[in-house]
Structure 1
């Protein structure tokens, strides 16, 4: 992930109220934050993440809000001031408690609200002017008027609210800080820019969107699935240099020589796939150097004169000096210094004839082979879905469109993510694309066709080659692990997916309820395995190990219990705690929903034949002698 906010990137804005807003930063547009205000998107482009901005007031000739970077000293001023006061207890003013808490302070005393950073007086008031009958003397109408006329990013409104509270002197230090925090979160005009990683996306979907779309899968559940499935970078692809065979079709790689291939069943809209891709290093698009620093198309001086000058969009932490009107400044690249203006004008002014732009037939670029496989052979994800198209819509937040991967050819998921349906996995002959033959036409026929017909011909050949590669490689097995987060019966999923795993491959299955996982764990329990070894099913007599792995099961043994070891179920939930002096306790309220459970196990390869213990066999005479020697030693003692 980039450390700076890139144009057209998806980011997360953390608002003072605690809510998160996910949006795409499009250049030359206005970002709206609802009641907090709006600001030009160019003000945060090419700026670092994890900064806190403050929306400043509009100046009279301007129509946009400026941004000010809030320094860390100002963000944590309350914490720093409280630590300083704790270090000097003699100078600190004790909070009223006990009987002294009810003693009113003398009237006529002037109270002031001081800024802890600068020491300047923000506002003053007189105790006698406050109404003693109400805690907050400001009415809702007055507060609404103050909100409309709020200045200094809402700080004046917060100061007036605190000064209008009649019982402000009766609050302890803890309650006063809590009251100030509540008002600050409600009225302050600040926000933080955070990168949209998988953890932030999961939090946003759980708290602000529909948690049912991701099966109530919390961040700790996503972490458990990745850890127990041992999802990591699977190594470089060493099969890119291989050439197609005589028929023009690339051969399916040997599963034993291509590690780092994970099998996934994802019903969370792509959240699980995104989490695994992030662990494997293939989630975020990598911009190559030639794309960032490549030569730009030359432009004539007349075209350059029509473009408005680009102004910098930097802001400062102390002052608010920002160039005028940065809201809709176009972000353009610099001119190519290697091209002279005269040559640019001449090149653009000269009309180019079709004969000059067309290369000779012998020098024409050869079309790439349609049957060449565009997928990588290692460090890949193979997703099995029940529909005609996989539901991986959440991958669009990471600039990848699963419905049309050709729009993002440089994205790592384009080569490392493969999808197939359950029909293609179990009954590939029923799939029309797989069962049909690849279209084949001679070069003479291709030259006689129109452009649309030739394009359709090449697309069908490429789709046929991709489908054959994905299905053949998936049915070939040898996967490094299995990760499941689905509403399907886990027993049916394991029946068809376990034979595709390599020996020692980890298995991690997430379910909202514990009952399906309990039934699955019972199928691989020690008691079932012992019964299987003692009296295997009669229909497996004379079957090989491969046939036993693909066995459909019966009522007594729904699954082959000899294929998985170490079956267990676990769960985890991170509790939020309030940590304060004398007030440390877990929060009593939290988000509900499904608890979530994870099944874990390991794929094993059963040994052929009977397993016998081997060692040196001791004779009966030696056993008797050892027993007599031991008896004599005990008698002597």
Structure 2
């Protein structure tokens, strides 16, 4: 499927530009209307040439015309991109004297090493002696002169470089194709525009940037985490103020809500700059802002329908002058962070800025809640949560200036939002837990496991195996058996709710009955070179951490002893069979 770039005046569209089809990863750029896009040594072009164009097209930067001060773009067709493959397939289908050529000499496709006057093939991979026209040499001065001339956007330069190679007759078919690939990558001014999805962005940071910043998490590991955590769209938004969200007695607190209304709430611990939050938000359908198609009347901008373009992302049914916040309680992410502010810098590429007090309309504004570890564990020690909300009488509000009055309402909304996020997180009943952090996973689960609903999945990513192996040992069968036969002294006399929040000891760091189906998984996609007698993994593949995922499912232990119930047919039948010699059971044949 092709996605069109929808850009309005003054907005930006993030995308990834690959410098050529032979480059694995490019760099992310924001295309702004009426601007100039620079690709370094490849050149520049106006941004309006790619706006409203489909993704995944390959463009070629053409030379500037004499009467213009900018470079135009040419869409490279697929027949030109795959000319080598088409030529090889045609040669295999119709073998002839020219079947051993590497480059097609028909239809004037790119990089054809043919004589322009006669049309004869100049270079052929099986020829032992090259034609005299192929024994040309180019000096660096001549190469620079050809580059300045920009003949054919580099195609003529590549052809002349191959013709000037005096040892071209000694190259095999594979070596000749590799030589052509290197020269093409160096001199051809081509690029491809891709949508900036999470996987492409992660690969860009792995290959081009600091991989340790994202804990070497690869796209297959992010997919594994999302699958085991069962991250998906949680349904339509449900608000506390809705009639369907209240219980039968009319209570509006989170603990009083029905269980079916609290689906789609995930708890996240993200120390990879928001990459994990973005991957989960993409699965939940809240990563990209929803763009409404404009009608012809709205596009013309009538005076009676024109309104301010930036009014902020005000949640639905929120009272601006009060301190209530009616954020949805379904299809949400609750991020637990250890700093004063959450580290979500990667989400800036997708139009969400967590530090903006008046953000642009975005689904994450209402569906992403942030809570610090102090607010989650001991909220009474947090100054922001424990401080009372600012108050003022209506008479005082009327006397204040608009700026001071706006600051007052903003502080009240911030106080209400923090209380809503902390209270919702401490109420629990989350649909799953996903973490990617360098913190000790045992300490993470000690405070987050009691907040999960029964049957909720747990997926924890770590770049190394050792911390996950230590965590898996806490829920082993041996520890569960020891817990059932001889509970620790610190757990004696506690209720089931107290046992779920028990802090553990040296023998039992965690309650081993809280997780079932514990396992550790890994996955890695390795690119292979597939050639006759040369099939092996790519020698240039990056190393880095392997990456592992710990998985499990939240269990609700039964209170007391399990008693069997039902009809004991087998025991009754056994008693009837041993009733004595010579007796007959009524209703059975003798």
TM-score (norm 2): 0.85
Deviation sequence 1:67-91 (CA, Å, 0-9, x none) = 0111111111111111111111245
CA contact 1:85–1:91 (8 Å) conserved in 2: no
- 2:421 is aligned to 470
For the pair 1:381 / 2:333, whether they are aligned, the reply is yes
Q: CA–CA distance in 2 between the matches of 1:433 and 1:112?
A: 70
- 1:207 is aligned to 207
Query: Which of these residues, 35, 56, 70, is aligned with residue 62 of structure 2?
Result: 56
For the pair 1:276 / 2:280, whether they are aligned, the reply is yes
Distance 1:94 1:38, change over 3 A: closer
CA deviation after TM superposition for structure 1 residue 597, in Å: 0.7
Query: Which of these residues, 421, 431, 434, is aligned with residue 385 of structure 2?
Result: 434
- 2:85 is aligned to 79
Matches of residues 82-161 of structure 1 in structure 2 within 5 Å?
82-94=88-100, 116-117=108-109, 121=114, 123=116, 127-128=131-132, 137-161=137-161
Matches of residues 251-262 of structure 1 in structure 2 within 5 Å?
251-252=253-254, 254=257, 256=259, 257-262=261-266
CA contact 2:134–2:163 (8 Å) conserved in 1: no
Higher mean displacement: 236-245 or 155-164: 236-245
- 2:217 is aligned to 217
Unaligned ranges ≥5, structure 2: 123-129, 307-317, 582-590
Question: For 2:254, what is the secondary structure of its paired residue?
Answer: coil
Query: Which of these residues, 364, 373, 385, is aligned with residue 413 of structure 1?
Result: 364
- 1:538 is aligned to 489
For the pair 1:452 / 2:454, whether they are aligned, the reply is no
CA contact 2:332–2:368 (8 Å) conserved in 1: yes
CA deviation after TM superposition for structure 1 residue 440, in Å: 2.7
Higher mean displacement: 147-156 or 602-611: 147-156
Distance 1:138 1:369, change over 3 A: same
RMSD value, Cα: 3.1
Deviation sequence 1:369-426 (CA, Å, 0-9, x none) = 5222142110000000000100000001101111116321x21111100001000001
CA deviation after TM superposition for structure 1 residue 239, in Å: 2.3
Matches of residues 499-510 of structure 1 in structure 2 within 5 Å?
499-510=450-461
For the pair 1:395 / 2:347, whether they are aligned, the reply is yes
CA contact 2:6–2:52 (8 Å) conserved in 1: yes
- 2:504 is aligned to 553
- 1:368 is aligned to 320
- 1:529 is aligned to 480
Higher mean displacement: 13-22 or 44-53: 13-22
CA deviation after TM superposition for structure 1 residue 265, in Å: 0.1
Distance 1:242 1:572, change over 3 A: same
Distance 1:452 1:251, change over 3 A: farther
Q: CA–CA distance in 1 between the matches of 2:467 and 2:482?
A: 22
TM-score (norm 1): 0.79
Q: CA–CA distance in 1 between the matches of 2:262 and 2:572?
A: 53
Q: CA–CA distance in 2 between the matches of 1:334 and 1:598?
A: 52
Distance 1:443 1:594, change over 3 A: same
Q: CA–CA distance in 2 between the matches of 1:375 and 1:587?
A: 49
Distance 1:14 1:255, change over 3 A: farther
CA contact 2:239–2:326 (8 Å) conserved in 1: no
Distance 1:95 1:284, change over 3 A: closer
Query: Which of these residues, 29, 47, 71, is aligned with residue 41 of structure 1?
Result: 47
Deviation sequence 1:443-489 (CA, Å, 0-9, x none) = 22211222233222212211111111100000000000000000100
For the pair 1:15 / 2:44, whether they are aligned, the reply is no
- 1:585 is aligned to 536
Higher mean displacement: 6-15 or 378-387: 6-15
Question: For 1:400, what is the secondary structure of its paired residue?
Answer: coil
Distance 1:2 1:375, change over 3 A: farther
CA deviation after TM superposition for structure 1 residue 146, in Å: 2.2
CA contact 1:15–1:191 (8 Å) conserved in 2: yes
Deviation sequence 1:522-542 (CA, Å, 0-9, x none) = 001111111000101122222
Query: Which of these residues, 352, 356, 359, is aligned with residue 404 of structure 1?
Result: 356
CA contact 1:579–1:585 (8 Å) conserved in 2: yes
Q: CA–CA distance in 1 between the matches of 2:319 and 2:522?
A: 53
- 1:5 is aligned to 5
Q: CA–CA distance in 2 between the matches of 1:236 and 1:501?
A: 21
Question: For 1:234, what is the secondary structure of its paired residue?
Answer: coil
Higher mean displacement: 264-273 or 610-619: 610-619
Query: Which of these residues, 59, 65, 72, is aligned with residue 66 of structure 1?
Result: 72
Deviation sequence 1:345-386 (CA, Å, 0-9, x none) = xxxxxxxxxxxxxxxxxxxxx973522214211000000000
Distance 1:423 1:112, change over 3 A: closer
Question: For 1:407, what is the secondary structure of its paired residue?
Answer: coil
Distance 1:573 1:120, change over 3 A: closer
Question: For 1:406, what is the secondary structure of its paired residue?
Answer: coil
For the pair 1:567 / 2:567, whether they are aligned, the reply is no
- 2:196 is aligned to 196
Unaligned ranges ≥5, structure 1: 97-110, 297-332, 345-365, 630-637
Deviation sequence 1:89-125 (CA, Å, 0-9, x none) = 24544479xxxxxxxxxxxxxx997665398956577
Q: CA–CA distance in 2 between the matches of 1:259 and 1:421?
A: 23
Distance 1:293 1:618, change over 3 A: closer
Q: Which has the higher contact order (CA 8 A, sep 6+)?
A: 1
CA contact 2:240–2:252 (8 Å) conserved in 1: no
- Aligned pair count? 544
Distance 1:251 1:545, change over 3 A: closer
